[in-house]
């Protein structure tokens, strides 16, 4: 499948999150040979979680949930499709597992303190912005509709 198909799946994950009141960011992790390893959305709201961003959910979805997680080699050179530019935590997770490419919808909401495109590139990770308006608009809508909840996000503090 082409990038646009995998990105569309990430967008669908973001929509699913939005529909249940969650922060609308979705991600799909695809191995170097084109296999979908995992997909998911941000579950900060749904699970009351500190770390379950979209990308982290995709990583976790690639594991069985009990017993042996996949060997780290499975992730080498994989592509992370995500509707919004990864934060510095998710960037670190991508670096840890040797992700080769990050394809994202929009970088509009990024925390400027951490230039994650620059960080990813400095370790040889390719970054591709597909310029997706829906990713941005969904996030902006969620922030407008959930101002008090948004205040709990690191981004809200600048």
Q: How many CA atoms lie within 13 A of 157 on its CB side?
A: 3
The residue range among 2-10, 20-28, 92-100, 132-140 that interacts with a second copy, by the rule CB under 8 A, is 92-100
Q: Which of 115, 1, 4, 78 is nearest to 70 (CA)?
A: 78
Contact with a second copy (CB under 8 A) among 56, 99, 103, 117:
56
Q: Is 1 in the site for a second copy (CB under 8 A)?
A: no
**Measured CA distances, 79 to 14, 32, 59, 155 (Å):** 17, 7, 11, 25
Q: Is 62 in the site for a second copy (CB under 8 A)?
A: yes
Least distance (Å) between residue 2 CB and a second copy:
26
12 CB burial (10 A radius; 0-12, 13-18, 19+): middle
Q: Is 158 in the site for a second copy (CB under 8 A)?
A: no
The catalytic residues are 55
Q: Is 65 in the site for a second copy (CB under 8 A)?
A: yes
Q: Is 103 in the site for a second copy (CB under 8 A)?
A: no
């Amino acid at each position: 499948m082409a990038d646009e198909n995998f990105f569309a799946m990430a967008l669908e994950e973001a929509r699913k999150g939005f529909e249940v009141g969650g922060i609308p960011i979705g991600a799909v992790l695809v191995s170097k040979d084109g296999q979908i390893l995992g997909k998911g959305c941000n579950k900060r709201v749904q699970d009351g979680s500190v770390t379950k961003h979209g990308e982290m959910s995709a990583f976790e979805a690639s594991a069985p949930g009990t017993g042996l997680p996949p060997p780290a080699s499975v992730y080498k050179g994989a592509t992370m499709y995500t509707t919004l530019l990864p934060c510095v935590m998710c960037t670190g997770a991508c670096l840890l597992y040797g992700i080769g490419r990050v394809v994202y919808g929009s970088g509009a909401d990024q925390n400027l303190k951490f230039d994650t495109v620059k960080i990813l590139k400095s370790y040889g990770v390719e970054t591709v912005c597909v310029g997706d308006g829906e990713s941005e608009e969904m996030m902006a809508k969620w922030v407008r509709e959930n101002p008090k909840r948004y205040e709990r996000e690191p981004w809200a503090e600048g």
